[in-house]
DNA sequence: CATGAATGAGAATTCATTCAT
DNA sequence: CATGAATGAATTCTCATTCAT
């Protein structure tokens, strides 16, 4: 999730927003600060974004785009469901763990109000959950996975585990690597607690 | 998690805050609105809370208190680890599912900024995770649960699943009962995906 | 000007007001703070003073009373005008210099607005100036002082010098004694700058 | 001290502040009123001044600047010390007497708290006193003035007389001209009371 | 006389957004 | 496309004062 600036103003604005919002939170971040860091005038922001909230939406979309894109790539390969799931888990944690500032946005700031989450969740998160769900379905069809769990539910549960690990990592100020949790997550998700 | 007002002003203010914040979000909720709903003067709020944010903290503490209290109760009983976990899961979902307004606060509004979450997470959430973790430890000691998973990790994973179900329920506008997810969660947590 | 508390609540309130107002200024001093220092309830203040500003008026009156009383005493004695003036000057500087907190009130806080000064100046300050003026008149009648200066003007000029010394002392944070300026003031007032 | 507006927004704000603060006092003057009179939006004030108090500081600086500038001009001329002093006195009273609103600010509102005066007095007032003091020194060196008075003290004493006249004029609601006091002040300062 | 919980008017300041240049 | 000065609505919090006990 490393930010590679293509130098375009829009990208510079988004990149600046990530840093500023990560530092002081969405509400404490002024449009003026973002503009300053991006090296543009305050008014310029409004040539690229309808309003301040739109910046946050764009940040979300950019982040989700990366997740979905990477997820899709893996799904196309001919792997077993378990293997695919393992890769999705590793990918998820790796992507989030690559950029702490971006992770703060994704795990915390993007969820700052019901109204806001309402708009987010359906479209893109749904797509991401769909990808996971399809892997679960595949596993059930091939007989790898138990069939008594609703794939939609399973996808959410898996996402819940990943999301908790990510949030926990963001909030802990230790210098661990988020991906190091991947094996445990795979174990837990595939095998559960029971012996 | 039904709110039982003891009629004290502080309680009335907190109850009013839950309703108002659930409706319009923390930032869009003015202290004046909370005061009005509580039937007190604006200034009275400040006799009970240092500032607006303190109201949110109190809301969190009140909610967590209920969780921990209920969790503790179950732990004291002499049940198997699986059974205890089942009860914690049911309890968690039942408590959250009892009051949608409170759930909006807990699942969304309380997480509105890193700075804020930083202050929350450690103390009380840690205690709640500790309770779950102890059950995992018990299960490992009695041989019910596999021993290769770190109990601290397992507790977070379980919490992640519960939290995702709760958030999903809050965001879905259908009229389902959150507790109806309990059996699936129990199954997933105990048995994992694998056959 | 040392404050000797007769222990009455009113006196305790005034004494507390001096300390608090000297420390943080009239506007930054809350009635609650004064009450707390005086060891009474907030409401009690209003049994003794109509409002916050009345406290300031009382402080002024108490201070002026001391000045006038002392001034009057000296005037009654049978001294030469020069000698009387010398004593008034010494007295003024000694009284002000005795209590820095009270001096802050007198030299600074009591003058915080035109409206406020308007009410002060006429009554009591006029009386104090009158005392000085009478000494000037006496000096002019006995031939000690030049006759071409209006005694009312002279009184104000003398007061101006004393007042400036007092304010200068309050603002300087050095540990000098205000009375040490008395000889110079006497010299200046009596002899002027010319050889 | 007539205010000549260069029409710049900052100047318009300062000029409006003088009128409003003179009318109702610093504390009773709202930023909104100043803005309204200046014909700008409330927020515009904060583009030019960090906060309300900064306006008062600017007012002080603008006023002192005029005093010092005028004082300096006279000092450069080759006059006797007595003559220079006479001119400083006349100038001071003329400048103050030119604009009653500004005088209210200078003589009363600018002194509303110790904290505030602390910040004012040292820098600029010190410079003004220095100018007077230099004239005293000149007089002592040329033999015009007595040598037994400390020039620093003398400067303060002279300032005290001028300041008292100014304040007295502001507080008196009669329609006298402040400069009319100049001859008496000169007489008093140069010759003292004694025959 | 005394209390102190409650009141609610009041004001400074911020900042997203606009628009003339 | 870009600028950045100007706007003005909007809101938290303070605190003098009251009054039921």
The least confident of A130-134, B117-121, C119-123, D47-51 is C119-123
Asked if residues B170 and B103 have their Cβ atoms less than 8 Å apart, the reply is: yes
Inform me whether the C-beta atom of residue A141 falls under 8 Å from chain B C-beta atoms. no
Secondary structure of chain B as H, E, C letters: CCCCCCCCHHHHHHHHHHHHHHHHCCCCCCHHHHHHHHCCCHHHHHHHCCCHHHHHHHHHHHHHHHHHHHHHHHHHCCCCHHHHHHHHHHHHHHHHHHCHHHHHHHHCHHHCCHHHHHHHHHHHHHHHHHHHHHHHHHHHHHCCECCCCCHHHHHHHHHHHHHHHHHHHHHCCCCCCHHHHHHHHHHHHHHCCEC
Q: Which residue has the tokens 């010394």?
A: C165
Spatial CB neighbours of B79, under 8 Å, sequence gap ≥ 6: B87
pLDDT at residue B55 is higher than 80:
yes
**Band (A74; pLDDT cuts 50, 70, 90):** low
* Buried b / exposed e along C94-129 (16+ C-beta atoms within 10 A): ebbbbbebbbbbbbbbbbbbbebbeebbeebbeebb
Per-residue pLDDT, B76: 72
Using the C1' atom of nucleotide F3, identify the protein residue whose alpha carbon is closest. Answer: A41
Q: Which nucleotides of E are covered by protein (CB under 7 A)?
A: 1-20
Secondary structure of A86-146 as H, E, C letters: HHHHHHHHHHHHHCHHHHHHHHCHHHCCHHHHHHHHHHHHHHHHHHHHHHHHHHHHHCCEC
Spatial CB neighbours of C11, under 8 Å, sequence gap ≥ 6: C5
Torsion D57-D58-D61-D67 (CA) sign = negative
Angstrom distance (rounded) from CA C49 to CA D174: 32
CA B58 to the chain's CA centroid:
13
- Which 8-state DSSP code applies to residue C109? G
Angstrom distance (rounded) from CA C38 to CA C10: 9
Asked if residues A97 and A107 have their Cβ atoms less than 8 Å apart, the reply is: no
Chain C residues touching D22 at Cβ < 8 A: 114
User: Whose C1' is closest to the CA of A48: which nucleotide?
Assistant: F1
- Residue D19, min C-alpha distance to chain C (Å): 13
Q: Which residue has the tokens 């003024």?
A: C92
Q: Do A195 and B145 touch (CB under 8 A)?
A: yes
Q: What does the longest C-alpha to C-alpha distance in chain A come to?
A: 61
**Band (C2; pLDDT cuts 50, 70, 90):** very low
Q: Which helix (H) or strand (E) holds C126?
A: helix C126-142
Structure tokens at D166: 């100014």
Neighbours of D88 (CB within 10 A): 24
Per-residue pLDDT, A114: 87
**Band (A174; pLDDT cuts 50, 70, 90):** confident
Q: CA-to-C1' distance for D40 and F6, Å?
A: 8
pLDDT at residue B192 is higher than 80:
no
Question: Between residues D50 and D122, which one has the greater pLDDT?
Answer: D50
Per-residue pLDDT, D4: 40
Give the model confidence (pLDDT) of D5-31 as tens digits. Answer: 456 999 999 999 999 999 999 999 999
- Residue D126, min C-alpha distance to chain C (Å): 11
pLDDT at residue D2 is higher than 60:
no
Residue D15: HSE in the Cβ half-sphere, 13 Å Cα cutoff? 16
Domain A52-193 CATH assignment equals 3.30.1330.180? no
Per-residue pLDDT, D117: 86
Q: Do A153 and B82 touch (CB under 8 A)?
A: no
Q: CA-to-C1' distance for D109 and E5, Å?
A: 36
Spatial CB neighbours of D175, under 8 Å, sequence gap ≥ 6: none
Enumerate long-range contacts of D148-155, CB under 8 Å, 24 or more apart.
Answer: D148/C187, D149/C184, D149/C187, D149/C188, D149/C193, D150/C184, D153/C181, D153/C184, D153/C188, D154/C188, D154/C193, D155/D129, D155/D130
Structure tokens at D133: 């003091």
Angstrom distance (rounded) from CA C43 to CA A54: 52
Structure tokens at D61: 């600086």
Spatial CB neighbours of B147, under 8 Å, sequence gap ≥ 6: B140
Structure tokens at A97: 């763990």
Asked if residues D145 and D81 have their Cβ atoms less than 8 Å apart, the reply is: yes
Angstrom distance (rounded) from CA D87 to CA D70: 10
Q: Which residue has the tokens 């005034």?
A: C14
**Band (A2; pLDDT cuts 50, 70, 90):** very low
Per-residue pLDDT, C74: 67
* Of D186, D82, D89, residue with least CA distance to D140: D82
Angstrom distance (rounded) from CA B64 to CA D139: 81
User: Whose C1' is closest to the CA of A10: which nucleotide?
Assistant: F1
Tell me whether residue C148 is exposed, middle or buried, using C-beta atoms within 10 angstroms of its C-beta: 0 to 12, 13 to 18, 19 or more.
exposed
Q: Which residue has the tokens 């095998």?
A: A191
Average pLDDT on D45-58 reads 95
Q: Express the helix, strand and coil content of chain D in percent, nearest 5 each.
A: 75, 0, 25
Structure tokens at C193: 């700058």
Compute the mean pLDDT over every residue in chain A, rounded to the nearest whole number.
Answer: 90
**Band (B124; pLDDT cuts 50, 70, 90):** confident
Angstrom distance (rounded) from CA D74 to CA D134: 12
Phi, psi of B5 (to 5 degrees): -75, 125
Give the model confidence (pLDDT) of A118-156 as tens digits. Answer: 887 677 888 899 999 999 999 999 999 999 999 999 999
pTM beyond cutoff 0.75: yes
Inform me whether the C-beta atom of residue C117 falls under 8 Å from chain D C-beta atoms. yes
Per-residue pLDDT, C120: 79
Inform me whether the C-beta atom of residue B104 falls under 8 Å from chain A C-beta atoms. yes
Spatial CB neighbours of C43, under 8 Å, sequence gap ≥ 6: none
Inform me whether the C-beta atom of residue D23 falls under 8 Å from chain C C-beta atoms. no
Asked if residues D84 and D21 have their Cβ atoms less than 8 Å apart, the reply is: no
Phi, psi of A169 (to 5 degrees): -65, -40
Question: Between residues D175 and D154, which one has the greater pLDDT?
Answer: D154
Q: Which residue has the tokens 């997933």?
A: B188
Inform me whether the C-beta atom of residue B114 falls under 8 Å from chain A C-beta atoms. yes
Using the CB atom, is residue D47 less than 7 Å from strand F?
Answer: yes
Inform me whether the C-beta atom of residue A30 falls under 8 Å from chain B C-beta atoms. no
Spatial CB neighbours of B27, under 8 Å, sequence gap ≥ 6: A27, A112, A113, B112
Of C22, C154, C181, the CB nearest to D193: C154
Angstrom distance (rounded) from CA C85 to CA C189: 9
Tallying the residues shown for chain D, one arrives at: 195
pLDDT at residue B139 is higher than 80:
yes
- Residue D190, min C-alpha distance to chain C (Å): 5
Using the C1' atom of nucleotide E10, identify the protein residue whose alpha carbon is closest. Answer: D30
pLDDT at residue C14 is higher than 50:
yes
Of B22, B121, B153, the CB nearest to A171: B121
Per-residue pLDDT, A1: 40
The neighbours of chain D, by the rule of 3 or more Cβ pairs under 8 Å, are: C
């Amino acid at each position: 999730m490393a930010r590679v600036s293509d130098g375009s103003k829009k990208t510079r604005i988004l990149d600046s927003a990530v840093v500023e919002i990560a530092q002081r939170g969405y509400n404490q971040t002024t449009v003026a600060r973002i503009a300053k860091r991006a090296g543009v005038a305050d008014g310029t922001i409004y040539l690229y974004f309808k309003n301040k909230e739109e910046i946050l939406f764009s940040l979300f979309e950019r982040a989700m785009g990366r997740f979905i894109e990477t997820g899709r790539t893996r799904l196309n390969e001919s792997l077993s469901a378990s293997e695919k799931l393992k890769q999705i888990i590793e990918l998820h944690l790796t992507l989030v763990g690559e950029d702490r500032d971006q992770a703060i946005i994704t795990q915390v700031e993007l969820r700052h109000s019901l109204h806001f989450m309402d708009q987010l969740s359906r479209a893109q998160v749904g797509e991401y959950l769909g990808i996971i769900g399809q892997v679960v379905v595949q596993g059930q069809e091939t007989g790898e996975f138990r069939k008594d769990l609703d794939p939609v539910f399973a996808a959410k549960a898996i996402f819940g585990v990943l999301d908790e690990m990510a949030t926990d990592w963001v909030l802990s100020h230790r210098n661990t690597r988020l991906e190091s949790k991947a094996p445990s997550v795979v174990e837990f998700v595939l095998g559960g607690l029971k012996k």
